Amino acid sequence: MKPLTPEEARIILHKGTEMPYSGVYNDFYESGTYACRQCGSPLYRSVDKFSSGCGWPSFDDEIEGAVKRVPDRDGRRVEIVCAACDGHLGHVFEGERFTKKNTRHCVNSLSMVFTPAGAGKED
């Protein structure tokens, strides 16, 4: 992977958040796999992506073992990080009833890279 840009580092290493509706993957629905921008580990499949209207890419499931949940210090939200490198991805919310799985991973676009179906190992 290439070095992180200053904005990617602010989000991935320092737990920042990109502006809503600004990320390249917010309204992106190609078939493929989303991987960690920092380490390249596969995180999400496009079949689990949905439109939540929140301004960030939303997924209702992750690739098994790819994402860790970490309670925020304030106890109000649950952070999600890459299980391989602990890079900040965003937050997870449950009980909103957007999908049958009743889970929304709200992920910063800058925390991920996309590989189209047929171009990678994790299609």
Active-site residues, by number, are 106
Number of Cβ within 10 Å of residue 2's Cβ equals 7
Nearest to 16 by CA among 24, 7, 3: 7
Centre a 10 Å sphere on the Cβ of residue 85 and count the other Cβ atoms it contains. Answer: 14
Cα distance between residue 119 and residue 123, in whole Å: 8
